[in-house]
Structure 1
Amino acid sequence: MPASLPLSRRLLTLLALVFAGTALAAPERTQVTLLATTDTHGRIYPVDYYANKPADLGLAKIATLVAQVRKESRHVLLLDCGDTIQGTPLAYFHNRKNNTPPDPMMLVMNSLGYVSMTPGNHEYNFGLGVLEKARREASFPWVSANTYRVGTDETAFQPYVVREIGGVRIGILGLTTPAIPNWENPENYAGLEFRPLVSEAKKWVPRLREGEKVDAVVIAVHCGLDEDLATGRRRPGDFDGENAALSIAREVPGVDVMFLGHSHRDIPALVVNGVLLCQAGRWADHLARVELTFSREDGGAWSVLARDARSLATGPEVAADSAVLALAAPYHAETEAWLSRAIGHCAQPLSAASGHFEDTALLDLVHRAQLEAGKADVSLAANFNPRARIPAGPVTVRDLAGIYIYENTLYVIEVTGAQLKAALEHAARYFLPYEAGKTPAQLVDPNIPGYAFDIAEGVSYEIDLRRPPGDRILNLTFQGAPLDPARKLRLATNNYRYNGGGGYTMFKGAKVLDRSSTEIRDLMIGWVERHHEIPAEPTRNWKLLY
């Protein structure tokens, strides 16, 4: 720089050179938005089919939120964490009554531009034929790295997907809860095995990092948290390895984000060992949103500079997308026609609201159908939907569908009186240890879902909440006499219980006397069609003491 230049000009020139050098050295940045749904369970229209009223949920509302995010962000990836093709009368009617058209969930998800879906345990409810048809109809891959062909190292699904967007490479690894054999009928997953989540994540994350050279690893896992963070205890009723999100975050290096599922929780953001975890609730009532900001210098490797997560609710202010409604309209119409069919009569209104605390005529209807279909001595059933109602007057398919909301099938097994008592003692753990002055509702253990509390018909008994868990069943009688622990009984239950679901391990390996491929819901519909009149008074064969 010539010394003859005035001092002020020399200073300005030096500053310009400094700023120019700084600008050249400034790191390059880009941002990617990740969106996720989970446990949508066949929800498209914003309706509650059982109650026959509007509801703030469904993919039609999710579509509106996705469109808003895409207006705000240039680089967006949308994925799903499973339990997708089962869960509503619409999904049931398609899968069981009219499976010829394309799967409605895949049809809508194709239109929304999903990049992947991790299959959940409920994808198997209708068997492999229905599963594979839906999978073929998806324009995006179903990804599950821990689902294998039995006895081989061949994955049954694509293990992961890699997408380049905004100049960065994102690897999405799919993992499915391995506890499926504890719930599902063996023929529904024939030829498949589900390997542990942590070891499979340890296997596949390095392949994404080193082999695929991704800049970020995202795991879309159909499982939840494996412990209560406040207490460190596992949720009662969980199987070993069923939920392993925390273990993956703690034990598997190289993971940036995990989208969770299975446990139906809304988790906007949780950071564990540097891994960002989030979960989008259930029934398409939330959309999980994660922003990943990347940085690099001089054209080098990208690194994650910042992560942010939030949960977007499909509240009343979110309108349903008209294009999605139009796509699903034929499925919705045939579902409504089926649900509206009158099949019986009831002299007075019935409710399941108190079904966890007293015998109800509504739950007795489930028992009647199971006992008759299975020619059984005793029936076990749970109050799956406390909001279920049967009106006085004509009774429709909708009313019965609202009572039994799962695709369970009937098993009739041989059990002893001792096994039945053990099952009832296990069910009674639904209530916490007794505290004087508290009502049964106040004693409910919040960590045990209501569908894990089985109630029996065909025997009479009392549940004494004042006694310690494991010793609460009193005066257990069968045909008017104390039940002999060695007495053999024909027990009608469902496939989930037979396979040990809900912790009912006392039935594992029990002799199967009979079983039906027909859903228990349809057995109930058939019972009402044959008998027409639904008894309006409960049998009062059990009660709580407190």
Structure 2
Amino acid sequence: MSRLVRPVSRRSFLAGSTAAAFVMMHPFSARAQANQAHLRIMETTDIHVNVLPYDYYADKANDTMGLSRTASLIEAVRKEATNAMLVDNGDFLQGNPMGDYIAYEKGMKDGDVHPVMKGMNLLGYEASTLGNHEFNYGLSFMDKVLAGANFPFVCANLVRGTELAANPRDDKLYLKPYLILDKTIKDGAGAEHPIKIGVIGFVPPQIMLWDAKNLSGNVATRDIVQAAKAWVPQMKEEGADIVIALSHSGIDVKQGDMMENASFFLAGVDGIDAVFTGHQHLVFPGKKDFQDLEGVDAKAGTLQGKPAVMGGFWGSHMGLIDLLLERDGSKWKVVSATSEARPIFERVDNRNKATVEDDKRLVEALKTDHEATLAYVRRPVGKTAAPLYSYFALVADDPSVQIVSQAQTWYIKDLLKDTEWKDLPVLSAAAPFKSGGRGGPDYYTDVPAGDVAIKNVADLYLYPNTVRAVAVTGAQVKEWLEMSAGIFNRIEPGKADQKLINTDFPAYNFDVIDGVTYRIDLSQPPKYDPKGAVLDASANRIKDLMFDGKPVDPVQKFVVATNNYRAGGGGNFPEINDSKVIFEAPDTNRDVIVRYIMEQKTINPTADANWSFVPVEGATVIFETGPKAKDFIADVKAVKIEPAGEGENGFAKYRITL
């Protein structure tokens, strides 16, 4: 049974939506009596090496990111709180060029302190767990980074070796499953008392798919909720007054085994008092995400009645759970709670405006690493004869996706030339990574013609994936594309200005397959939902699928160049999984793009318009993109695009006549 805590309305102490409007005293501090205490627990999550407010891909400052900004919120809470503690929820090690610079160029020697740890060590964390991206550079690299932290890490569902014990408590875990922190807490009358705070951590089990190259044969994972049910009772047996879960796992109310986003069901585990969540790069509580889900209160910030928080990503927010504790004999229990995600910026006149300044300690500590990263990303590797941009990547064949496919095809053809697969045609699957969405109206690739630097390649391909090749049939290629086409809403003939993009469908799962030609019939319903489940088995959006000018034979064999995420089953594309992999490259997709550009010296990224929409009589559709798209609208030949006014939050609206 989950225990319902009594959330307090924040109207009495919040005036507005920003941290600057926060009234000095929280109600719990005002109410706490001699047998009660107010504990404030702060969270960072999904920092992804964004220690500073600087976008290395764009090579400019950015007020929406940076742990140095979040640090100012943390220090403000510490100053106004009688009792406070700070935790991190994982995904700190990979995600921007500073992380790649350290991993691929500078390296980590024993005793080195990683830049992200230099920043985090200044902030006084009590504990952290691991996120899925901690494993991207391999276990030995991760171990060296963790050794440089001055705070502990916990993870209850990551097992050394390949064997899971019959009882999770008998697993040989990679890290400690939990900690019991012996702390002193001050009550409402100013008296100090001991308290035992249990901290347990979890990582998505899917790391075994996403980083199989680094993890297979070395570690295994357990179901998050299964691990929690085994270890939390032991924490209580050891005297934990309260238990908080560091769950690098998002919020999903559809239950299943080995869930990627299990925080909702984790909150239902008896003995857990609060859940710090992340992974999905969303905000909880709030007005936008996780609305209308049964058992989820996105206003109060509770999951099954338990307080929970998700503090955005890249340092955009600080998660904060306030607990009113009451002594019951010699033990403490939670009697009420509030939850909040405090932002480091606000939108003013369609612009992002910082609401806090940098913590200068972090800026100074990272100065040398910042300068080295800038030199790294500004290094030219070749030239491009045409601009590379992604403003129209979701509605037309796109140069930023085209160049990725050209590089992948070049690489795989060369590596397979002396193998049993040498006579199969090579296709390439690539998706746009920077296409607005939650990243905002400036979150697009935009590389002018001329020199191409490493920062531009990182901009084209955000993640340090490795190249994989899969062998599939023509029928599987079609289903691959049917899944991708799920990003589009169904369009009715004769109806004007219908919304084109299904925003629940991640843009990084919109694979364009180069080497074949095809059209997408938007009048048909999508065959698959964003998670790969069949919505309509009879749906047929992919029309005129051709290879070398001829219809694709369903039994014809192809090799498709892709990445380890997709080839390992990421995105739940039909029949695309490890069983189809014929080649696992040692190189990252970014490295392949760099090599391709260096080999070509000057690249020609012009899109070849290998896909388009089937006309829908009398229909127009609306989509949003960055305001800079207007500079490239004339380049798009496959569809008729025209401006349609201003969108929300700084985006621009465009219309396509189908």
TM-score normalized with structure 1 length: 0.89
Identity among equivalent pairs (%): 34
Alignment CA distance shift 1:288-1:484 (3 Å): same
Alignment CA distance shift 1:382-1:70 (3 Å): same
Q: Which residue of 1 aligns with 2:523?
A: 466
Matches within 5 A, 1:37-56: 37-56=44-63
1:378 is paired with a residue whose SS is strand
Alpha-carbon distance in 2 for matches of 1:136, 1:126? 15
- Residue by residue, what CA displacement relative to the aligned partner does 1:398-427 show, whole Å, maximum 9, x if unpaired? 122111001111012211111111111111
Q: Which residue of 1 aligns with 2:141?
A: 130
Mean Cα deviation higher: 430-439 or 442-451: 430-439
* Residue 68 of structure 2, aligned match among 60, 74, 97: 60
1:212 is displaced (CA, Å) by 2.1
* Residue 602 of structure 2, aligned match among 533, 536, 539: 533
Contact 2:301/2:340, CA 8 A, preserved across alignment: no
Alpha-carbon distance in 2 for matches of 1:502, 1:155? 28
Matched, 1:430 2:487: yes
Q: Which residue of 2 aligns with 1:404?
A: 461
Alignment CA distance shift 1:395-1:205 (3 Å): same
Which one has the bigger helix percentage?
1
Alignment CA distance shift 1:27-1:192 (3 Å): same
Matched, 1:93 2:101: yes
Matched, 1:481 2:499: no
Contact 1:256/1:274, CA 8 A, preserved across alignment: no
1:500 is displaced (CA, Å) by 0.4
Q: Which residue of 2 aligns with 1:83?
A: 91
Matched, 1:184 2:215: no
Alpha-carbon distance in 1 for matches of 2:542, 2:585? 30
1:351 is displaced (CA, Å) by 1.4
* Residue 454 of structure 1, aligned match among 504, 511, 521: 511
Alpha-carbon distance in 1 for matches of 2:342, 2:282? 13
1:207 is paired with a residue whose SS is helix
Matched, 1:442 2:453: no
Contact 1:115/1:141, CA 8 A, preserved across alignment: yes
Give the counterpart letter for 1:172 in structure 2.
V
1:422 is paired with a residue whose SS is helix
Q: Which residue of 2 aligns with 1:7?
A: none
Contact 2:465/2:564, CA 8 A, preserved across alignment: yes
- Residue by residue, what CA displacement relative to the aligned partner does 1:132-169 show, whole Å, maximum 9, x if unpaired? 11111112121111111232411111111222231322
Alpha-carbon distance in 2 for matches of 1:120, 1:88? 15
1:306 is displaced (CA, Å) by 2.1
Matched, 1:363 2:401: yes
- Residue by residue, what CA displacement relative to the aligned partner does 1:84-123 show, whole Å, maximum 9, x if unpaired? 1000000111112112342111221112111111101111
Alpha-carbon distance in 1 for matches of 2:482, 2:497? 16
1:354 is displaced (CA, Å) by 0.7
Matched, 1:201 2:236: no
Matches within 5 A, 1:371-386: 371-375=409-413, 377-386=426-435
Contact 1:379/1:458, CA 8 A, preserved across alignment: yes
Contact 1:414/1:510, CA 8 A, preserved across alignment: no
Matched, 1:347 2:366: no
Q: Which residue of 1 aligns with 2:282?
A: 265
- Residue by residue, what CA displacement relative to the aligned partner does 1:487-531 show, whole Å, maximum 9, x if unpaired? 111210100111000112412244433332211111111111121
1:290 is displaced (CA, Å) by 1.4
Contact 2:243/2:274, CA 8 A, preserved across alignment: yes
* Residue 477 of structure 2, aligned match among 420, 437, 440: 420
Q: Which residue of 1 aligns with 2:42?
A: 35
Contact 2:135/2:214, CA 8 A, preserved across alignment: no
1:326 is displaced (CA, Å) by 1.4
1:77 is paired with a residue whose SS is strand
Give the counterpart letter for 1:480 in structure 2.
G
Alpha-carbon distance in 2 for matches of 1:60, 1:307? 27
Paired residues, number? 510
Give the counterpart letter for 1:283 in structure 2.
W
Mean Cα deviation higher: 533-542 or 121-130: 533-542
Alpha-carbon distance in 2 for matches of 1:399, 1:414? 31
- Residue by residue, what CA displacement relative to the aligned partner does 1:356-386 show, whole Å, maximum 9, x if unpaired? 1100122110011000000161000100112
1:51 is paired with a residue whose SS is coil
Give the counterpart letter for 2:249 in structure 1.
C
Contact 1:280/1:288, CA 8 A, preserved across alignment: yes
Q: Which residue of 2 aligns with 1:139?
A: 150
Alpha-carbon distance in 1 for matches of 2:198, 2:493? 54
Alpha-carbon distance in 1 for matches of 2:257, 2:104? 29
1:367 is paired with a residue whose SS is helix
1:143 is paired with a residue whose SS is coil
1:445 is displaced (CA, Å) by 1.9
Give the counterpart letter for 1:43 in structure 2.
N
1:421 is paired with a residue whose SS is helix
Q: What residue ranges of structure 2 are gaps of 5+ in the alignment?
A: 1-32, 166-170, 186-193, 286-299, 346-353, 414-424, 436-443, 528-539, 617-658
Q: Which residue of 1 aligns with 2:586?
A: 517
1:440 is displaced (CA, Å) by 9.4
1:434 is displaced (CA, Å) by 2.8
Alpha-carbon distance in 1 for matches of 2:558, 2:545? 14
Alpha-carbon distance in 2 for matches of 1:452, 1:254? 37
Q: Which residue of 2 aligns with 1:13?
A: none
Alpha-carbon distance in 2 for matches of 1:117, 1:290? 16
1:43 is displaced (CA, Å) by 0.4
Q: Which residue of 2 aligns with 1:120?
A: 131
- Residue by residue, what CA displacement relative to the aligned partner does 1:303-351 show, whole Å, maximum 9, x if unpaired? 2232122111112021111110111122111111011112222334331
Give the counterpart letter for 1:494 in structure 2.
N
Alpha-carbon distance in 2 for matches of 1:420, 1:439? 32
2:608 is paired with a residue whose SS is coil
Alignment CA distance shift 1:189-1:171 (3 Å): farther
Give the counterpart letter for 2:278 in structure 1.
G
Contact 1:128/1:188, CA 8 A, preserved across alignment: yes
1:272 is displaced (CA, Å) by 2.8
Q: Which residue of 2 aligns with 1:221?
A: 247
Give the counterpart letter for 2:222 in structure 1.
R
RMSD: 2.0
Alignment CA distance shift 1:161-1:326 (3 Å): same
Give the counterpart letter for 1:160 in structure 2.
Y
Matches within 5 A, 1:497-512: 497-512=566-581
Alignment CA distance shift 1:54-1:137 (3 Å): same
TM-score normalized with structure 2 length: 0.75
- Residue by residue, what CA displacement relative to the aligned partner does 1:207-242 show, whole Å, maximum 9, x if unpaired? 122x22122111110101113xxxxx68xxx99511
Q: Which residue of 2 aligns with 1:165?
A: 184
Matches within 5 A, 1:247-396: 247-250=265-268, 252-268=269-285, 269-296=300-327, 300-315=330-345, 316-375=354-413, 377-386=426-435, 387-396=444-453
Alpha-carbon distance in 2 for matches of 1:534, 1:239? 46
Alpha-carbon distance in 1 for matches of 2:250, 2:341? 16
Q: What residue ranges of structure 1 are gaps of 5+ in the alignment?
A: 1-25, 228-232
1:436 is displaced (CA, Å) by 4.1
Contact 1:357/1:440, CA 8 A, preserved across alignment: no
1:389 is displaced (CA, Å) by 1.0
